[in-house]
């Protein structure tokens, strides 16, 4: 494979990776926007405003949250608390309209999901099963941030006694190849892409990166 095709392949892999990061960030922003919107509705409810239509639209827009693990434990508690506050503003008994009854039933379904018990405007947050909260998908933002921190730490260690970024890349590739260090592999890919964007010749480093990637991949498969 020519150096040009190797670089295009690497560029495609890194761009795909970065796009996944962007999509993940956008998903989190959408969740935060939904939680903040619910907070606005709860404030309207406290002021005595009619919120049946607003909360109905909110349920329709975010119904997928009940089937997808998009909320952290803290966000679940916050959502449940706000819904319970909103419920307290609805009429009950014979004075309750069909539309309000539907909203109340939906609130109860959500608060049960969130693990919140409402009683006299006091809230008890119930922690769900450990495997449900810490199943690897509950806090992807912080986990990815921690991963980036580890990659940054490796860069700091390798660059401490280096005088050029090429030396850091060489050391990072050696760590990825010999120690089968995945964070060093990712760091190497970052540096190669950076160098490529700044006009450096990186063909030889791309080959070393591919070799290290193959070795690490084989090890992961054998350990699976």
- Please choose, from the candidates 113, 187, 119, the residue with its C-alpha nearest in 3D space to the C-alpha of residue 149: 187
How much is the average pLDDT of 11-36?
68
Can you give the C-alpha Rg of the chain in angstroms? 25
Among residues 140, 128, 133, which one has the least CA distance to residue 28? 140
At 28, the pLDDT band (50, 70, 90 cuts) reads low
Q: Which of 85, 154, 92, 96 is nearest to 123 (CA)?
A: 85
Instruction: Calculate the dihedral angle through the C-alpha atoms of 14, 18, 24, 28, rounding to the nearest 10 degrees.
Output: 160
DSSP secondary structure letter of residue 67: T
Please, how many CA atoms are within 13 Å of residue 204, restricted to the half-sphere of its CB?
5
pTM of the model: 0.41
pLDDT 10s digits, 89-136 = 877 666 778 888 888 888 888 888 776 433 333 434 444 444 444 444
pLDDT at residue 26, as a whole number: 59
More confident residue, 95 or 32: 32
Residue 76, pLDDT score: 78
Name which residue leads in pLDDT, 27 or 125.
27
Q: What is the pLDDT of residues 50-79, one digit of tens each?
A: 788 888 899 888 888 877 777 777 777 888
> pLDDT of 157-202, one tens digit each?
888 878 899 999 999 999 988 988 888 999 999 898 888 888 888 8
Share of the chain above pLDDT 90, in %: 7
pLDDT given at position 134: 46
Helix ranges (H only) for 47-94 are 52-62, 73-87
Q: Are 41 and 49 in contact (CB under 8 A)?
A: no
Higher pLDDT, 89 or 3: 89
């Amino acid at each position: 494979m020519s150096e040009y095709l190797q670089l295009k392949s690497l560029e495609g892999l890194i761009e795909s990776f970065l796009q996944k990061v962007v999509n993940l960030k956008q998903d989190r922003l959408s969740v935060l926007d939904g939680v903040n919107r619910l907070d606005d509705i709860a404030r309207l409810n406290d002021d005595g405003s009619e919120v049946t239509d607003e909360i109905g639209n909110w349920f329709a827009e975010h119904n997928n949250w009940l089937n997808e693990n998009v909320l952290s434990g803290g966000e679940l508690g916050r959502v449940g608390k706000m819904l319970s506050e909103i419920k307290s503003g609805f009429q009950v008994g014979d004075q309750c309209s069909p539309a309000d009854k539907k909203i109340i039933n939906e609130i109860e379904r959500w608060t049960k999901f969130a693990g919140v018990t409402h009683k006299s405007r006091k809230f008890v947050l119930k922690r769900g099963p450990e495997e449900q909260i810490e199943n690897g998908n509950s806090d992807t933002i912080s986990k990815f941030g921690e991963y980036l921190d580890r990659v940054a730490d490796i860069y700091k260690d390798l660059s401490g006694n280096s005088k050029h970024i090429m030396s850091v890349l060489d050391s990072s590739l050696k760590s990825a190849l010999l120690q089968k260090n995945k964070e060093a592999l990712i760091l190497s890919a970052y540096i190669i892409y950076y160098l490529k964007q700044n006009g450096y010749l990186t063909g030889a480093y791309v080959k070393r990166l591919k070799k290290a990637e193959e070795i690490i991949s084989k090890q992961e498969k054998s350990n699976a």
